[in-house]
Amino acid sequence: MALPATGAQGRPPAQEAGTSPGYGPTAGYGPSPGQGGTLGQEGTDSGRALRLRAFPGGRPAMRPARRERPNRAAPHPARRALRLVGPPLAVTAVALGLWQWLATLAHVRPQILPTPWLVVSQGWQWRSVIWANTLPTLEETFAGFGASLVCATALAVAMRLVPACRRAIYPFLVVSQTLPLIAIAPIVDLWLGFGLVPKLVVVAIVTFFPVTVGLMEGFDSTDPDAVNLLRSMGAGRLAVFRRLELPGAMPYFFAGLRIAITYAVVGAIFAEYVGASSGLGIFMSEQANQFRTDLVYAAVAVTALVSVALFGLTWLVQRVAIPWYGRSRRARH
């Protein structure tokens, strides 16, 4: 068997060239252990030659360290408001322009399709009458929604703390939303008369379900590990509910609140259709009987504005009630 070739010092050629067996070139790292200065210099020169052959342009440039992007400053409030309301206003302007163009071009009678300009002008002339009918509708909306809010919150808490109560009541809550409102409202008026109380009942029937379901979903989303942690620290059932489940359900509560507040205005107007002496509902019914479609559209526009304003009010209440939720959302985005 042939022995491997050795260099002048009795070492393999690769080791003479300044490499360590199995580790590649040792250029720039000084002489290997047991080697003298001359051999170390030879290894350095050989390693430099190998490096120049591998990188003709010299030593490769080091990649700069990745710098973190600085936090962008918060946008100006005016710019943020413009970004929020600008797109809806643009879509509304385009829709009104098309409406005006089609109604004018087709020569449609105002009793069938009034132009937006006619709706605005007639609504402005009748503004005192429309405002006088808006106030009773707002009163019914706030009173009915307040009663619904109290009942829905109490019912959701009871179903959370007493599981048997949830199993017994929750199916009836679902069934209550399948009943047609057009059939319930006349019966409620027949039982309770034509005053304020039946309107409150109709508004409560329409709005309590989203709030109740929102709270129940919030309670169910509680982290089990957090519950076990509090229980290991000696917290009882009410303490866990008060300190963990109820605060964690607040975002879900306000989500249901925003849905319910828009239904509240519609429920109040529908209750006025059935029987009332004043309100936007009875105003629209009277004007429709007189073929004043322009005033009906004006009342519809006021209803939409009131609903949007109440929807925005829920956002303000949420920012005051649970400011930590808004900060956490901004931090995630």
Tens digit of pLDDT per residue, the chain (333 long)? 444 444 444 444 444 444 444 444 444 444 444 444 444 454 455 555 545 454 455 555 555 555 555 555 556 667 777 777 788 888 988 998 999 998 888 888 888 889 999 999 999 999 999 999 999 999 999 999 999 999 999 999 999 999 899 999 988 888 888 888 888 888 888 888 778 888 899 999 889 999 999 999 999 998 889 989 989 898 888 899 988 999 889 999 999 999 999 889 988 998 888 777 889 999 999 999 999 999 999 999 999 999 999 999 998 999 888 888 777 766 665
Total domains in the chain come to 1
Domain hosting residue 326, numbered range: 110-332
In angstroms, rounded to a whole number, what is the distance separating the alpha carbons of residues 48 and 26?
10
In a domain, 172, yes or no: yes
Reduced to 3 states (helix: H, G, I; strand: E, B; else coil), residue 20 is strand
Cα distances (angstroms) measured from residue 219 to each of 157, 172, 174, 214, 246: 9, 20, 18, 9, 7
Task: With respect to residue 175, please indicate whether it lies within any of the assigned structural domains.
Answer: yes
pLDDT recorded at residue 37: 44
Q: What is the pLDDT of residue 72?
A: 56
State the Cα–Cα distance between residues 242 and 289, nearest whole angstrom.
54
Task: Evaluate whether 280 touches 138 at the Cβ level (below 8 Å).
Answer: no
- What SS3 class is residue 24? strand
Which residues, 6+ apart, have CB-to-CB distance to 177 below 8 Å? 209
- The answer as to whether 308 is a domain residue is yes
Question: On the CB side of 231, how many CA atoms lie within 13 Å of its CA?
Answer: 9
Say what the pLDDT of residue 184 is.
Answer: 83
| Residue 49 pLDDT | 52
What confidence score (pLDDT) does residue 73 get? 54
Answer whether residue 62 is part of any domain.
no
Separation of alpha carbons 12 and 19, rounded Å: 10
Identify whether 9 is part of a domain.
Answer: no
At residue 98, φ and ψ (nearest 5 deg) are: -65, -40
Interacting residues of 197 by C-beta distance below 8 A, sequence separation 6+: none
pLDDT for res 48:
55
3-state secondary structure of 239: helix
**Any domain includes 64:** no
Residue 15 confidence (pLDDT): 44
**What pTM did the predictor assign?**
0.69
Tokens of 130: 């429309």
Instruction: Say if 290 falls within a structural domain.
Output: yes
DSSP 78-89: HHHHHHHHHHHH
80: Cβ–Cβ under 8 A, 6 or more apart, which residues?
Answer: none
At 181, which CATH number?
A: 1.10.3720.10
Q: By the 8 A CB rule, do 315 and 266 touch?
A: no
Is the residue at 34 inside a domain? no
